[in-house]
Amino acid sequence: MRFEALRTKEVMWAHLLLSGLILYGVTSEILLAQALNNKGYLVDIKCSKCHTLRRVFIMCKSESEWRVTIEKMMNKNQEWIQPAEAEQILKEILISRAERVHAMCQERKDYEDARFLFVDRCTLCHNINRILYQDKTPEEWKETVERMCTEAMGYITSEDSERIARFLLERAEILREDAGSKLFLDKCMNCHPGEQILLETHNRKEWRKILRNCSEIAAKTFKTSWLHPYEVELIVDILVKTQGFSVQNN
């Protein structure tokens, strides 16, 4: 009886809270569940459907830019984000962004290996494959990473940006000169996300075993020879150069 009475009082307060929100144009049923379950901001519920919240809050935008972004998201699925909810999400981002980014920076980890630093910092906003397919000059990589450093509002430090730019440049130079680079991009990244590959470190024997296993799986799946033996060796060469135990990426 006591539990039911407490629950009734909790529901009553939730409805009172919702009534107050309705005065401000926020009428979503999600907010009732939010009030009952104390699940935080509406932006957490709505935006995390398609994006990580770290990606949402790391972006450095003005109020007008955020409004345009939220309207684009709303137009993609008008049933998921209502106009009143869009306004509420905008307010929540503007109010809580600095605190969220500060919390993210507090949790930020340092990595000795620049590969891991690159994956951690850059996957906040980008698909790794998209980055790895880019062929840029040293000046272009430096400009790109510095711009990301500015937009990341402290999550990417100037030291981070220097190490990431150097890593991308050195990797691009190896790939540009190596015969197996196009095979690696066409064959390996056709099935695997770049971060999955980048986080692996193996010697030549281990890489060869992995590639041969992938070749067998691909042959059974596609009913054709996906990786010829000579292609396996070329890809193994590039992986040993960029992700072997002797490679120092810091």
Query: Mind listing the pLDDT tens digit for each residue in 74-119?
Result: 888 888 998 889 999 999 998 888 888 888 888 888 888 899 999 8
Q: pLDDT over 90 for what percent of the chain?
A: 18
Q: Residue 204 pLDDT > 60, yes or no? A: yes
Two tokens at 47? 């935006």
The pLDDT value given to residue 79: 85
Q: Residue 157 pLDDT > 60, yes or no? A: yes
d(CA 50, CA 16): 31
31 and 143 assigned to the same domain = no
* Interval 172-193 mean pLDDT: 84
In a domain, 248, yes or no: no
The pLDDT value given to residue 202: 93
pLDDT band at 27 (very low <50, low <70, confident <90, very high): very low
pLDDT band at 247 (very low <50, low <70, confident <90, very high): low
User: Residues with Cβ < 8 Å from 96, sequence gap 6 or more?
Assistant: 41, 43, 57
Element (H, E) at 58: helix 53-58
DSSP state of 190: T
Contact 28, 85 (CB under 8 A): yes
Token look-up 């992986």 returns: 239
78 phi and psi angles, rounded to 5 deg: -70, -20
Q: What's the structural domain count of the chain?
A: 3
- Provide the residue type at 244 as one letter: G
Longest dimension (CA), the chain: 76
Domain, as residue range, for 24: 1-39
101 and 18 assigned to the same domain = no
| Angle in degrees, CA 54, 57, 58, rounded to 5 | 75
Question: Per mean pLDDT, which of 57-66, 145-154, 185-194, 203-212 is the most reliable?
Answer: 203-212
Q: Average pLDDT over the chain, rounded to whole?
A: 78
Which of 19, 104, 94 lies closest to 60 in space, CA to CA?
94
Q: Residue 22 pLDDT > 60, yes or no? A: no
In a domain, 80, yes or no: yes
The pLDDT value given to residue 246: 64
97 and 140 assigned to the same domain = no
239 and 184 assigned to the same domain = yes
Range scoring the smallest mean pLDDT among 18-27, 47-56, 183-192: 18-27
Contact 201, 246 (CB under 8 A): no
pTM (2 d.p.): 0.61
